[in-house]
């Protein structure tokens, strides 16, 4: 799902005094649930033209220098991120996987990969973990856009950047919001050794999940292995991918014809 730029506007948070947050939603069929804060109505649409709905959020706490407002902004942000836990990864849905992983599931195991990976010269492990946690965070608003959706890479990036900017405003700005923005852009631009490694973890996690779904559901998910072949940038990524492919090949060889 993408933000409708014709109606999209940044929330005027600083106009509001701190009050108890009351959140309500109006949704239409085929629309994903989205939570915004601020006394306003925001229209969003799915990737199917004409599918539209409004999220009404009223009496929200505005970020300020006070501790109570900062706390309210944090909870508003975390509430928005709830959709990362509930939104299922579309690639698996398209292949008929029942009960597939969520976006948050995917990011969590990537963070574990960064945690357990062997030490690499000049690579900041903590930064890798942080990048893994935020690299798909904009999907809390835009959803999981896959190649099958036919959205150009530049447009996908634009939608996600707009969504991330909105999320950082909901968080209230400041150092933490700036850090999230910086980490996301670093990953998006493949701009560091840490980003290179996490890009590899993104692909490794996907093919490992594909192998697991093949074993659980008796399917062959060749597409995911073919789409990542030869695209790993780091030695760890190449090594882990080779191990997963080796296990898959051994399993396929054992299957009766």
Q: What is the pLDDT of residue 119?
A: 86
What is the tens place of the pLDDT at every residue in 87-106? 999 999 999 999 999 999 99
Task: Output helix, strand, coil percentages for the chain, rounded to the nearest 5.
Answer: 55, 10, 35
What is the tens place of the pLDDT at every residue in 159-214? 999 999 999 999 999 999 999 999 999 999 999 999 999 999 999 999 999 999 99
Give the HSE-up count for residue 125: Cα atoms under 13 Å, Cβ half-sphere: 10
Tokens at 3, concatenated: 């933000």
Distance of CA 123 to the CA centre of its chain: 23
Residues 55, 53: Cα–Cα separation, whole Å: 7
**Structural domains in the chain, sorted by start:** 71-254 (1.10.3210.10)
Residues 237, 201: Cα–Cα separation, whole Å: 7
**CA-based nearest residue to 200, from 249, 134, 144, 128:** 128
Run means of pLDDT, 10 residues per run, the chain, 257 residues: 38 36 34 42 39 36 57 96 97 96 98 94 95 98 94 95 97 96 98 98 98 96 97 97 98 85
Contact present, 50 and 209 (Cβ < 8 Å):
no
**CA-based nearest residue to 11, from 233, 171, 245, 228:** 171
Q: What is the pLDDT of residue 66?
A: 57
2 has which bridge partners?
45
Residues 253, 90: Cα–Cα separation, whole Å: 29
Beta strands in the chain (DSSP E): 2-3, 22-25, 40-45, 52-58
Residues 17, 15: Cα–Cα separation, whole Å: 7
Considering the entire predicted model, what is its pTM?
0.76
Residues 249, 257: Cα–Cα separation, whole Å: 14
């Amino acid at each position: 799902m993408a933000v409708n730029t014709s109606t999209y506007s940044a929330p005027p948070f600083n106009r509001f005094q701190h009050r108890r947050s009351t959140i309500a939603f109006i949704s239409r069929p085929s629309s994903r649930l989205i939570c915004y804060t601020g006394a306003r109505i925001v229209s969003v649409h799915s990737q199917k033209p004409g599918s539209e709905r409004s999220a009404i959020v009223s009496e929200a706490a505005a970020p300020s220098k006070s501790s109570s407002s900062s706390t309210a902004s944090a909870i508003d942000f975390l509430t928005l991120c709830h959709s990362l836990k509930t939104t299922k990864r579309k690639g698996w849905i398209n292949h008929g996987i029942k009960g597939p992983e969520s976006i948050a599931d995917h990011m969590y195991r990537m963070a574990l990969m960064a945690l357990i990976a062997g030490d690499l010269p000049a690579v900041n492990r903590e930064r890798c973990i942080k990048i893994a946690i935020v690299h798909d965070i904009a999907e809390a608003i835009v959803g999981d856009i896959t190649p099958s959706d036919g959205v150009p890479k530049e447009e996908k990036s634009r939608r996600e950047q707009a969504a991330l900017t909105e999320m950082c405003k909901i968080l209230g700005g400041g150092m933490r919001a700036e850090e999230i923005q910086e980490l996301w852009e670093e990953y998006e631009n493949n701009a560091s050794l840490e980003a290179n490694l996490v890009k590899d973890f993104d692909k490794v996690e996907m093919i490992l999940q594909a192998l697991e779904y093949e074993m659980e559901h008796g399917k062959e998910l060749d597409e995911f292995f073919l789409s990542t072949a030869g695209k790993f940038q780091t030695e760890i990524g190449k090594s882990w991918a080779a191990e997963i492919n080796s296990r898959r090949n051994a399993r396929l060889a054992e299957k009766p014809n």
